[in-house]
Amino acid sequence: MTEDSQRNFRSVYYEKVGFRGVEEKKSLEILLKDDRLGILPPHHESHAKVMMYRKEQYLDVLHALKVVRFVSDATPQAEVYLRMYQLESGKLPRSPSFPLEPEDEVFLAIAKAMEEMVEDSVDCYWITRRFVNQLNTKYRDSLPQLPKAFEQYLNLEDGRLLTHLKMCSAAPKLPYDLWFKRCFAGCLPESSLQRVWDKVVSGSCKILVFVAVEILLTFKIKVMALNSAEKITKFLENIPQDSSDAIVSKAIDLWHKHCGTPVHSS
C-alpha cells in the first residue's frame, strides 16, 4: 500500500474541512500552500486570516466560559471542548453541575479520543465539532439502522453466533451506543480507531457495522461461553486491546467483501 493510501484519520479529515493532501505532522503553515482547499477562500492570502479567525473564535468562546465559571485552567480539555460546543450551539446548561445528556456523553467520548490524534487544541476542537456534526446530519438517518444491519451481516458470517446472542437475550442489549453513536471511541485504541474514523469521514458509516461483526467473530469462543446478556455486554464493552489492529483490518476486508468498494456508501 502506498504512503498516500495510508494517510491517517486526521489527514483525511483535514481534507474534508478544506485542507487537501495534509500529512500528519506538517504545520498549518505548510497546509496553506495547497492549491485546493475546498471551503477555504481560493486566494492564499486569505487562508492565514481564516485560520486566525478560527483561533480567535476559539479563544473568545473559551474566555466567555471562564468568565461565567463553566471552565477553569483545571478543567479537562475534552470537557472544555464540550462546553464550547454547547455554548456555540445554544445548549449550554444553567450550571456545570447539571448531569450530562446522552448526546453530551457521545461528544465527550469522541473528544477524548480525538485528543490522542490531534495535538493542537484549536485544531482538535474544530475537527471534533465537524466530526460530531457529520454524525448528527449526514448520518442521522443511517446510524439508527446499524443494529439491524449488524444482525444481518453477523447472520451471514456466523448464524450460530447470532442464534446464541438471541437465545441469551443479548442481541438487543449489545453496546450499540458505544459502537455506533460513539464510533468505538473508548472501545478501540487510537491507532485502530483512526483507521475506522478514516472510513467514516470518507463517506461510509457502514464500516462501523463490520467492525462490530468482526469483534464478535474474533471473540466467538469467549462469547459462546457466556450465557447471560449482562456478561456478554460487559465483555464486549471492554474487549482486549491487543487484537484491535487485526480486528479493524479484517473488518475492512468484510466491508469490501459485502459492499464492494463502498467509498461513499452510508
Cα(79)–Cα(87) distance, integer angstroms: 12
Q: Dump pLDDT digits (tens) for 157-167.
A: 999 999 999 99
> Taking 90 as the threshold, does the pLDDT of residue 95 lie above it?
yes
Phi, psi of 88 (to 5 degrees): -70, -25
Task: Give the residue from 80, 104, 137 where a domain finishes.
Answer: 137
Q: Which residue has the cell 479529515?
A: 13
The pLDDT of residue 20 is 40
Task: Count other Cβ atoms within 10 Å, centred on residue 134.
Answer: 18
What the block records as the C-alpha cell of 12 is 483525511
Q: Is 98 inside a domain boundary?
A: yes
Structural domain for 103, as ranges: 17-137
Q: Which residues are within 8 A (CB) of 130 and not within 5 positions of it... i.e. 6 or more apart?
A: 13, 16, 17
Task: Give the residue from 137, 171, 193 where a domain finishes.
Answer: 137
More confident residue, 7 or 165: 165
The pLDDT of residue 192 is 94
Q: Is 113 inside a domain boundary?
A: yes
Crossing angle between the packed helical segments 244-259 and 190-202, to the nearest 10 degrees: 20
Q: Is 7 inside a domain boundary?
A: no
Cα(231)–Cα(240) distance, integer angstroms: 15
* Residues 45 and 61 occupy one common structural domain: yes
Strand partners, 185: 188
Task: Give the residue from 95, 118, 137 where a domain finishes.
Answer: 137
For the domain that residue 259 is a member of, what is the CATH number? 1.10.472.80
Q: Dump pLDDT digits (tens) for 224-242.
A: 999 999 999 999 999 999 9
| Average pLDDT of every residue of the chain | 86
* Residues 257 and 153 occupy one common structural domain: yes
What the block records as the C-alpha cell of 159 is 448464524
pTM for this model (two decimals) = 0.81
